[in-house]
Amino acid sequence: MPTASELDQFVPPQWLRSGHLQTIVPNKIRRHPAGRDLANRSSAETIPTADDDRISLHWSTKGENPDAVLVVLHGLTGCAEADNVMAVAAKGHLAGFDVVRVDLRNSQGDHPSVGIGHAGRSEDLHSIIDHVGRRHPGVPIAIIGFSLGGNIALKALGEYGPEPPADLRAGAVISVPIDLDDACRAIDRTRNWIYRNYFLRRLSRRYQIRRQNHPELFPHLDLARISTIRAWDNAVVAPLSGFADAEDYYSRSSALRVIHRVYVPSLIIHAQDDPFIPFDPFQRAELRKNDLLQLLASQQGGHVGFFAERNGGSDPDRYWAENRALAFCAARVGLAWPPALSLDELSDTLP
């Protein structure tokens, strides 16, 4: 497995060196409006999944004949309008990509899907890649996934094995729970109550919305009694997704199980001080022996934080992990990084 160069090292500001601060503060900083501006001008479509459900895609296109397509997957309780997803879309668009922001299942109140979303839904990404390939045959495709979306991405790549789609050229993932059981144990620890409660509140709210719309599919549950992520997975995800229990779900859905079969060049970015995704699984032989996987393992950065001391090498902003993921994908589809235009110029040029 290739190692990172010194130029790729993450350097946080002096005041933002805690893993908890890096997890919380960068997500509170107002992002550049270019991401929202681009999202407001995107076009939406709904496509079928392998099990006859539906998922939503949001396209930001440059023309009828794109140079490359970037598919962006959000994290747990996120959506296609998450700040980091829209920011990556804007920066990817600057670099020359047509961008597809994905709403994974149950990610919004008006979402067309009826199935429960979870970290093992790699079949949905297979459907998306197939759809993009049919829409733009011969055009290179790259994937960027955050957290849970990153596990879906790596799992899908591993499932392709030695014969991935010819146009699928790169994957890059940030803060990924490649061992779901290990990550669940970590987030359910007492010291991580702030993150656990945040996710459970959002998961419960989404479940209640889905139950209002489809009471025949989403049974009544005493959600207030669910106090851990494992309990949620046992009560909701497993029975509604065909798993025996949470342990069965984790075992069958963790990307670590198939990561040795990834044959698409892929970048994995992870901070060793991530509060609730342990670093140990990233040192497993399955990763180290796969020469197509590159690990950027910074000492600091928190969970999907990585707010840097300064813009490195003319990056569009200070979100280091996003920029490294975009640079990796751009290089493998023949696009330049950093982009020639700034985020301000992108906003100015949108119709």
Question: pLDDT tens for residues 14-40?
Answer: 999 999 999 999 999 999 999 999 999
pLDDT tens-digit map of 97-124: 999 999 999 887 566 788 889 999 999 9
Q: Tokens at residue 215, please?
A: 């009471």
Do residues 185 and 214 touch, judged by C-beta distance below 8 A? Answer: no
Q: How many Cβ atoms are within 10 Å of 289's Cβ, its own excluded?
A: 10
With a CB cutoff of 8 Å and minimum separation 6, the contacts of 246 are 184, 230, 233, 234, 237, 238
Q: Tokens at residue 93, please?
A: 């668009």
pLDDT band at 294 (very low <50, low <70, confident <90, very high): very high
Crossing angle of the two packed helices 148-160 and 122-135, in degrees rounded to 10: 70
Crossing angle of the two packed helices 180-187 and 193-213, in degrees rounded to 10: 110
Quote the pLDDT of residue 106: 82
Q: How many Cβ atoms are within 10 Å of 2's Cβ, its own excluded?
A: 12
Q: What is each CA distance from 134 to 45, 80, 165, 330, in whole angstroms?
A: 14, 22, 11, 21
Domain chopping of the chain, boundaries:
6-178+258-349
Reported as type and span, the H/E element at residue 246 is helix 246-253
Average pLDDT over residues 71-81: 96
pLDDT tens-digit map of 203-262: 999 999 888 888 888 999 999 999 999 999 999 999 999 999 999 999 999 999 999 999
Question: By three-state DSSP, how is residue 231 classified?
Answer: helix
DSSP-derived letter for residue 233 is I
Quote the pLDDT of residue 131: 98
pLDDT band at 351 (very low <50, low <70, confident <90, very high): low
The whole-angstrom separation of Cα 216 and Cα 61 is 38
Residues, the chain: 351
Q: Which amino acid is at 124?
A: D
Architecture of domain 6-178+258-349: 3-Layer(aba) Sandwich (3.40)
Do residues 142 and 89 touch, judged by C-beta distance below 8 A? Answer: no
The whole-angstrom separation of Cα 319 and Cα 308 is 6
